[in-house]
Amino acid sequence: MPTDRFSDSVRIAAPAAVIYEHLLDPHNYIGLSPLIVAVRDVRPAGESTAYVAVERFRLGPFHWDNLIRVTLTGVRPDLRVVSDVVSPGAVRLESTVDLAPDGGATTLTESIEVEFPALLRGFVVKQASSVQKSRLAELARRFSRP
């Protein structure tokens, strides 16, 4: 199956350890990722946390809830968070977030690798890159200092 990879970075005005802990809680992804409207079935899975995230796609007055299975793994001491996502339609996504202390702030780099059926490429890559940009902007907003 085809695969695309891309990454983006943002500087966040908070210590890496604080952001790391925030990213390890599945409930914090509601609103962090603009499509995620709920998480459920949160449970430990060895060194990871498994859960189901509800992505809501809207088209005018209609919406479709896409249930995705996520395995979230924190890696210390590297301050890395890896999310493995399995979505209907044979779409798989791996997000790796690396947190690098930068003075009193943190440089966060998210690398995404997404695999999909060829016919879905345009939609999947557009959605994944759009969500990534929104997620990084929302993280910076959540941790901005007044």
Domain segments of the chain as ranges: 3-142
Confidence of residue 104 (pLDDT cuts 50, 70, 90): confident
- Grade residue 110 by pLDDT with cuts at 50, 70 and 90: very high
User: What's the confidence (pLDDT) of residue 78?
Assistant: 82
Q: What are phi and psi of 5, to 5 degrees?
A: -135, 140
CATH class assigned to 3-142:
alpha beta
Q: Which residues pair with 51 in a beta bridge?
A: 70
Q: Kindly report whether the global pTM for this prediction surpasses the value 0.85.
A: yes
Q: First-to-last CA distance in the chain?
A: 46
pLDDT in tens, 38-55: 999 999 999 999 999 999
